[in-house]
Structure 1
Amino acid sequence: MTDLAAAYAHCRESNARHGRTFFLATRLLSPARRPAVHALYGFARLADEIVDSGTSADPAGDLDRLEKRLHDALAGRPTPEPVLLALADTVRRHGLDPGLFGDFLASMRMDLDVVSYPDMAALGRYVRGSAEVVGIWLLPVFGTVVPRTEAEPAAAALGRAFQLTNFLRDVAEDLDRGRVYLPGDVLAAYGVDRERLTRCRRTGRVDERVRRALRHLVAVTYAVYREAEAGICLLAPSARPCVRTAATLYREILDRIVAADCEVFARRVVVPTGRRLAVAVPGLVGALLAR
């Protein structure tokens, strides 16, 4: 196995281990497109581990060093990091905009010292780098039937929808890390503050004020999904089953939050494996027909 093949295999293994829903959706892509998606996932995972694993003694410095190694890899200089080797090949092969990686790392740096966001606009600046650019990264890999710039707003919206879903599902885990990714103005409109959220986490039960705030944010997120899903038809036909399946599975997390009456503080809401497969199998048929 060549170094490059081994690097892509490393990224694939990381995706399979840590991003089960996303990895399942990638199986609906043609084999030629999958390695690039795994490389992009691997890079995002690499940065996320620096920020959230708790194993780095100097996360800010480690992010700076990661960015320097990324620039070196993109410039064609040797790198011992398999993820960056695969990523640099993906960038060259698919013509990705290198500037988007700077946007992503800027949001990762925000996680080091920003613990809350006063309003949706401020949260949106974080989400731009942490999620919207991921949707835009993938456009050259998936291909489009319109000029790429026309497809970018919907691609960014899908990344935003996924991230907002994560914030709602993971509110308890984020509180444990000292962070609140729910916009402060929306919380305040329902009489919710960090202390009230922390009490819900401690008791494992959502109170009525928090429930109403979460319902509001669920509705906002559903609207973002509608915006994003309208753009799936702008993708190359062979990529649509993958993206539609990922959108369906992630949106179903919202459905399950609603079904649980927003009880997200005691346990993590998940889509069971059987349900994920039930959604993915029709997508696989559609993917095979589109090839």
Structure 2
Amino acid sequence: MLQLPKSPPKVNMRVSLEEAYEQCRQITAKYSKTFYLGTRLMSEAKQRAIWAIYVWCRRTDELVDGPEARHTTPETLDEWESRLESLFSGRAMDDFDVALVDTLERFPLEIEPFRDMIEGQRMDLYRNRYQTFEELKLYCYRVAGTVGLMSEAVMGVDPALQTAPWILEEGVRPTEEAVALGIANQLTNILRDVGEDTRRGRIYLPLDELALFDYTEADLFDGVVDDRWRALMKFQIQRARKYYATAERGIAALSPDARWPVWAATILYSKILDAIERNGYDVFRQRAYVPGWRKAMCLPVAWIRAQAM
């Protein structure tokens, strides 16, 4: 179980900053290969910051989804939030914290998205069903839309493009699109992991939408793949793609050096939806993933979009 001391000490340089960031890089590369590939297209400072943020988010998620999650209580999350406040005050308790504290000093990150993510984990403590998409959307914002906000602070926004007429006319604000990308990614995760979640007794598909397609919880736990299931999945995938489309509208407003990696990450992650379709929507017995050669093909497409859009 993750131990959370009551009074975090000042930053203890157990490792150098280089070593701390390297540990974050290794974890990102190991547990999120598609996301990691996108970070490798960033400048060194930005990719290191994103690795540090990713590791904090992963550790937060593991409090309720990790191997020791059975020991997690609301008090555990209270302590984790207290530790977060210490990080924003420049104090760290372990090697990973050293990297994040440095990131917080270098980039204009706000604490609220981090707090909101912890609230998302609180939801996982007491909920394993969502009746409507509006309820699920709040969860998706907290556990993933927040990542979009954190990442945007690192990527930076191009001031010139913020005032471009087409942005003002269409009401595009990068912050809104950043949240949309996080939600799109989380919806993709939900669809990919349906089988894994049911084995843990969790359902992240809105229950009223299961009923709409005459598909029951029993069908879900039995892994039934039929016309009802395929229609339901097509509906869910269409929604996820709409969120990706919304997110794409804001990429042009990011700093020029951030557009290629964000386009790459967006395209690569959305390809998981294509993989689900190729697998005949059977997410119970086949894990949808994007093979290396398909990832490689996405990079020049992302580069072209970064230049032209």
State the TM-score, normalizing by the size of structure 1. Answer: 0.91
Are 2:58 and 1:39 aligned?
no
Give distance in 2, aligned partners of 1:80 and 1:274: 40
Instruction: Indicate whether 1:245 and 2:264 are aligned.
Output: yes
Whole-angstrom CA distance in 2 between matches of 1:131 and 1:82? 24
C-alpha contact 2:52 2:100 (8 A) present in aligned 1 = yes
> Residue 181 of structure 1 aligns to which amino acid in structure 2?
Y
How far apart are residue 285 of structure 1 and its match?
8.9
Match of 1:258, as an amino acid? E
Report what 1:166 is aligned to.
189
* 1:204-237 superposed Cα distances (whole Å, 9 cap, x missing partner): x512212211111111111111111111111111
1:54 alignment partner in structure 2:
67
2:90 aligned with 1:76: yes
Q: Secondary structure at the match of 2:234?
A: helix
Q: Which residue of 2 aligns with 1:236?
A: 255
Aligned pair 1:260/2:279, yes or no? yes
The percentage of counterpart residues that share the same residue type is: 37
Match of 1:8 in 2: 21
What amino acid is aligned across from residue 63 of structure 1 in structure 2?
A: L
Distance in 2 of aligned mates of 1:194 and 1:133: 30
Give aligned pairs, total. 284
What is the CA distance between 1:286 and its match in structure 2?
Answer: 8.6
Greater shift after overlay, 269-278 or 165-174?
269-278
1:94 to 100, 104, 107: 107
Q: Check the 8 A contact 1:28/1:284 in 2, yes or no.
A: no
CA shift for structure 1 position 284: 6.8
Are positions 1:23 and 2:23 aligned together? Answer: no
Q: CA deviation at 1:10?
A: 1.4
- For 2:201, the equivalent position in structure 1 comes to 178
User: For residue 189 of structure 1, what is the aligned residue in structure 2?
Assistant: 212
Tell me which residue corresponds to 2:227.
208
Q: CA RMSD in A?
A: 2.2
Q: Which residue matches 2:10?
A: none
Show CA shifts across 1:171-214 (max 9, x none): 000111111111111111011221110011xxxx5122122111
Match of 2:3 in 1: none
Instruction: Name the counterpart of 1:135.
Output: 148
TM-score using structure 2 length: 0.86
Gaps of 5+ in 1: none
SS at match of 2:43: coil
CA distance in 2, matches of 1:129, 1:29: 25
Match of 1:113 among 103, 106, 126: 126
